[in-house]
Chain A
Amino acid sequence: MFGFLRKDFATEREKLAFSAGDNKTFCKGCGGEVYDRSLINNFYICPNCSEYHRIPPRDRIAILADSGSFCEVDKNIQAVDSLNFPLYKDKLEKAKSSTGEKEAVICGTMMIKGIDCACFVMDPRFIMASLGAAVGEKITRLFELATEKSLPVLGFTASGGARMQEGILSLMQMAKCSGAVKRHSDAGNLYVVVLTDPTTGGVTASFAMGGDVILAEPKALIGFAGRRVIEQTTGAKLPENFQSAEFMLEHGFIDKIVPRDEQRSIIASLMRVYSYGGRNDGLRKA
């Protein structure tokens, strides 16, 4: 019944912006209030001070994918409290009801500028997108699906690290996911990862750093050990830009910092260059 929207608005982004009505959000960048519609229309970047706000994963997918091309997979996989860890069940329930999601990652297939790919987007609103067994399973299955169908994988990471409420089972997800990434890579497929705020701990130390091409959003926090932990352990005063996307670029651990409005086109170009989408097959065609 809302079919008319499709005609009135050029992009999914404009559609999302319209549906935000007159709601406002506080911007910690400039300390002011900003209309959600102008925030969304500007890729969730504050139009006044250019502060990057976190994008809800489904909005990110809507903005990024060719209209209507996203097809979710494994959407019913969710955590169980294997260790009977204190308060974990409550935490899961709260995360589910506040986000409307079942887990901290959304996986599926989609098209970007006509190129098919598999995609995962992590959701820091859900227990800091920590890596539990369900998240690990979803990411592993996505890479297995992409390997089977020879699809590139596009991943947006964000995570506080391992999900300690799942103990060692959580740690083992790092190995499990890394194995799936490696097999996808060995089969000759491309993995582009975009590190978003914050990508830390066990996710940094596994599939976030396993990309063929590693991109990052401006000013995103990216690191392994937490800043506070390092300051407490070593007594060192750390520089302002420590563990930022800019720091990672300077030290050679990411390829490029890409602003949100350029992501769609750069990702599509990378996929095209690396032999997807039928335009270029490199030397194989020559």
Chain B
Amino acid sequence: MTAYEKLKIVRSNERPTGGAFIEGLIDNKIELHGDRRYGDDGAIMAGVGVLGDMPVTFIAIDKGVSLEDRIRKNFGCPKPEGYRKALRVMKLAEKFRLPVICIVDTLGAYCGEDGEQRGQGQSIAENLMEMMTLRTPVISIIAGEGGSGGALALAVADRIYMLENAVFSVITPDGCASILWKDPGRMEEAVECLKITADDMKRFGVAETIIPENGDNGGFGKLCGEIKTRLEKDFKELSKLPLEKLIEKRYRRYRGIGDYAEKK
């Protein structure tokens, strides 16, 4: 399957949303609302629940299902108050040593006048800094589209999983084509150039694990079962590390990404 076909799959209305993954993974959910600063962003769903027998914190970007729902959730493009809600819930997780699961599926952060007024850039920057030293294990799952800084703000983690068809990109391929070639029609070409598939992410060291989607075999329940098994195993492993070491490894994880030359 080409990268472009994968992008079409994850953007389709049939793709399970972040909320559906939470539903499939977490039992006894209690959703927590609001950033205690300004408002409650519908695009980000956050709360606590149980994974198998492990209490956890979850944060998911949810695109919504019906049109009404999608509008309320701004089509899964989080606003500053969404990132601040996520950070608040992560800080709470840190306080009570709960592992954090982030489900990422977004075109990118919300783009609008009010977002800029409330510090879209600042809210993402703060998440990057705080997540880097969050004293509890974090695993991020790129479940659909991982779009730019708006996705990264929930993807500073100890491990990153990519669903087989998920993509992760510095900019939407549509945006890339219109900036570079002034022609959004060349998006398919941009998709190839940007290298956005799960295999690319594994090769670059951005993701550790690719979760096979198995087409329709076994369905969504089976997929969630596999993710769950993997999460339980990884959280057990990560929680054995002393916190200092966990944080150091997280820093090193990102510290090593990206090639450069050093020559006269």
Q: Which of the segments A45-53, A116-124, A227-235 contacts the partner chain? A: A227-235
Chain B 98-137 interface mask (CB, 8 Å, partner A; 1/0): 0000000000010111011111111011101110110000
| Residues of chain A with a CB closer than 8 A to B109's CB | 205, 224-225
Choice from A167, A243, A253 contacting B170 with Cβ under 8 Å: A167
Chain A 168-197 interface mask (CB, 8 Å, partner B; 1/0): 111111111011111101100000000000
Please tell me if B24 contacts chain A, counting CB pairs below 8 Å: no
| Residues of chain A with a CB closer than 8 A to B201's CB | 168
Q: Which of the segments B8-16, B40-48, B256-264 contacts the partner chain? A: B256-264
Chain B 164-187 interface mask (CB, 8 Å, partner A; 1/0): 000011110001100110000000
| Residues of chain B with a CB closer than 8 A to A168's CB | 168-170, 194-196, 200-201, 204, 206
Asked whether A178 lies within 8 Å of B132 as measured between CB atoms, the reply is: yes
Please tell me if B254 contacts chain A, counting CB pairs below 8 Å: yes
Q: Measured between C-beta atoms, what is the minimum distance from B19 to chain A in Å? A: 24
Please tell me if A156 contacts chain B, counting CB pairs below 8 Å: no
Closest to B153 in A: A205
Please tell me if A30 contacts chain B, counting CB pairs below 8 Å: no
Please tell me if A83 contacts chain B, counting CB pairs below 8 Å: yes
CA A143 to CA B170, docked complex, whole Å: 24
| Residues of chain B with a CB closer than 8 A to A182's CB | 129-130, 132-133
Please tell me if B245 contacts chain A, counting CB pairs below 8 Å: no
CA A85 to CA B179, docked complex, whole Å: 14
Task: Number of A interface residues at 8 Å Cβ cutoff, please give it.
Answer: 61
Interface size class of B (residues with CB under 8 A): 35 or more
Asked whether A230 lies within 8 Å of B260 as measured between CB atoms, the reply is: no
| Residues of chain A with a CB closer than 8 A to B206's CB | 168, 172
Given contacts A168-B169, A168-B196, A238-B113, contact A175 B132 (CB under 8 A): yes
Q: Measured between C-beta atoms, what is the minimum distance from A246 to chain B in Å? A: 13
Asked whether B111 lies within 8 Å of A233 as measured between CB atoms, the reply is: yes
Choice from A77, A185, A208 contacting B262 with Cβ under 8 Å: A77
Asked whether B149 lies within 8 Å of A136 as measured between CB atoms, the reply is: no
CA A251 to CA B155, docked complex, whole Å: 27
Q: Measured between C-beta atoms, what is the minimum distance from B261 to chain A in Å? A: 5
Given contacts A164-B171, A170-B170, A225-B116, contact A133 B129 (CB under 8 A): no
Please tell me if A204 contacts chain B, counting CB pairs below 8 Å: yes
Asked whether B128 lies within 8 Å of A178 as measured between CB atoms, the reply is: yes
| Residues of chain A with a CB closer than 8 A to B261's CB | 77-80, 134
| Residues of chain B with a CB closer than 8 A to A74's CB | 262
Please tell me if B251 contacts chain A, counting CB pairs below 8 Å: yes
CA A206 to CA B170, docked complex, whole Å: 14
Closest to A85 in B: B193
Q: Measured between C-beta atoms, what is the minimum distance from B153 to chain A in Å? A: 8
Asked whether A171 lies within 8 Å of B111 as measured between CB atoms, the reply is: no
Choice from A80, A201, A251 contacting B119 with Cβ under 8 Å: A251
In terms of DSSP, what is the predominant structure of the interface of chain B?
Answer: helix
Chain A 136-170 interface mask (CB, 8 Å, partner B; 1/0): 11001000000000000000000000101011111
CA A223 to CA B149, docked complex, whole Å: 13
Closest to B116 in A: A223
CA A183 to CA B175, docked complex, whole Å: 33
Choice from A134, A171, A181 contacting B149 with Cβ under 8 Å: A171
Asked whether A171 lies within 8 Å of B125 as measured between CB atoms, the reply is: no
CA A181 to CA B133, docked complex, whole Å: 11
Please tell me if A198 contacts chain B, counting CB pairs below 8 Å: no
CA A266 to CA B236, docked complex, whole Å: 50
CA A178 to CA B125, docked complex, whole Å: 7
CA A234 to CA B77, docked complex, whole Å: 13
| Residues of chain A with a CB closer than 8 A to B240's CB | none
Asked whether A169 lies within 8 Å of B204 as measured between CB atoms, the reply is: yes
Asked whether A80 lies within 8 Å of B260 as measured between CB atoms, the reply is: yes
Nearest 4 A/B pairs, CB to CB? A133-B258, A204-B121, A224-B121, A178-B128
B contacts, CB < 8 Å to A: 109, 111-113, 115-122, 124-126, 128-130, 132-133, 148-149, 152-153, 155-156, 168-171, 175-176, 179-180, 193-196, 200-201, 204, 206, 250-251, 254-255, 257-264
9 additional A-B residue pairs with CB within 8 Å, beyond A172-B254, A206-B149: A134-B260, A171-B148, A172-B152, A181-B129, A201-B149, A202-B148, A204-B122, A224-B120, A253-B119
